[in-house]
Amino acid sequence: EELKIMAGGIIDCHCHLSASEFTQMINSVLFRQDIDNSGVKALVAVTEGGTEFENIIQLSKRYPGFVFPCFGIHPLQGSGQNLQSVKIQDLDPFLHLFQKYKDDIVAVGEIGLDFTPWLANTKEEQDEQMKVFIKQLELSKELDLPVNVHSRSAAKVAITTMKELGITRALLHNFAGKPSVAMEAVQAGFCFSFPPAVSRNEQVRNEPGNVTISCEYIAKVKGISSDAVSD
């Protein structure tokens, strides 16, 4: 509720401000978003790995009331050709930071499961991902925070796991599961976010102001105004 009150406009509910491709230009990106006419008034910034945690906290302190930080360990670690399935060792050394910054973070994310065959096709890899996912879901309950969830090639099992653990506040990011699975998530009270790529069918480097592209596309599909979508 506090986030909504402070924002008073469009919120980018899932952005990677501490991602390496933004490191050299983060100040210009954020400054541009804050003053342009995009209508974006707040950014919920997720992380993919523990080494981003301190960076995203510092960024939120540099832009108070605009950048809202989340902590999470993504189911895939590394980048490019070095992507690999997450291990519990990728989470454990950073668990103390969830406690240290529990009053600063607004959600646990980006967490989840990614069973893409060429990245996590063994039972051992998938079991390890599940351990990391469940540990972070339990953390979210302990800290009374919502979760921001990635579920590629694993939508059904991710949603079932969340329901079994009693998760009630979840945002499913870039969801690509079956409609029946999506409806199961809706019935559980979960929400969905849609990136600008939904209107382009391609992945490009994204910036928070582009959230208006998603608003316009959703409005077109639903036959309502963009203002109605952003409200």
* Chain segment 73-127, per-residue pLDDT in tens: 999 999 888 999 999 999 999 999 999 999 999 999 999 999 999 999 899 999 9
Whole-structure pTM value:
0.80
Residue 199: predicted pLDDT: 45
What is the residue-averaged pLDDT of the chain? 82
Kindly indicate the confidence band of residue 61, based on its pLDDT and cuts at 50, 70 and 90. Answer: very high
Decide if pLDDT at 221 tops 70. Answer: no
Of 30 and 150, the structure prediction assigns the larger pLDDT to 150
CA distance 111 to 70: 10
Buried b (16+ CB within 10 A) or exposed e, 6-26: ebeebbbbbbbbbbeebeeeb
Residue with tokens 């690509």: 176
Q: Is 173 annotated as a binding residue?
A: yes
- Residues 131-185: tens digit of each pLDDT: 999 999 999 999 999 999 999 999 999 999 999 999 999 999 878 889 999 999 9
The answer to whether the beta carbons of residues 21 and 28 sit under 8 Å apart is no
Mind listing the pLDDT tens digit for each residue in 3-12? 443 445 677 7
Domains belonging to the chain, first-starting first, are 10-193 (3.20.20.140)
Residue 74 in marked binding region: no
Evaluate whether 106 touches 145 at the Cβ level (below 8 Å). Answer: yes
Task: Give the span between the Cα atoms of 85 and 130, in whole angstroms.
Answer: 11
Residues 6 or more apart whose Cβ sits within 8 Å of residue 59: 17, 18, 26, 30, 45, 67, 69
The reported pLDDT for the residue numbered 54 is: 94
Record the tokens describing residue 228, joined without a space: 């109605």
User: What would the two tokens of residue 119 be?
Assistant: 């990245």
User: Could you identify the residue written with the tokens 């832009």?
Assistant: 63
71 close to 44: Cβ distance less than 8 angstroms: no
The neighbour count for residue 127, using CB atoms within 10 Å, is: 9
Q: Which of 65, 66, 62, 83 is nearest to 74 (CA)?
A: 83
Structure tokens at 139: 């953390």
Query: What pLDDT sits at residue 73?
Result: 98
Give dist(CA 231, CA 114) in Å, integer: 31
Calculate mean pLDDT across residues 212-228. 57
Q: What does the longest C-alpha to C-alpha distance in the chain come to? A: 48
What are the two backbone dihedrals, phi and then psi, of residue 142, each rounded to the nearest 5 degrees?
-60, -40
189 φ/ψ angles, rounded to the nearest 5 degrees: 90, 10
Asked if 175 and 182 touch (Cβ cutoff 8 Å), the reply is yes
Say whether pLDDT at 70 is over 70: yes
Specify whether the backbone of 7 is left (phi greater than 0), alpha (psi in -120 to 50) or beta.
Answer: alpha
How far apart are alpha carbons 104 and 211 in whole angstroms? 24
**Annotated binding residue 14:** yes
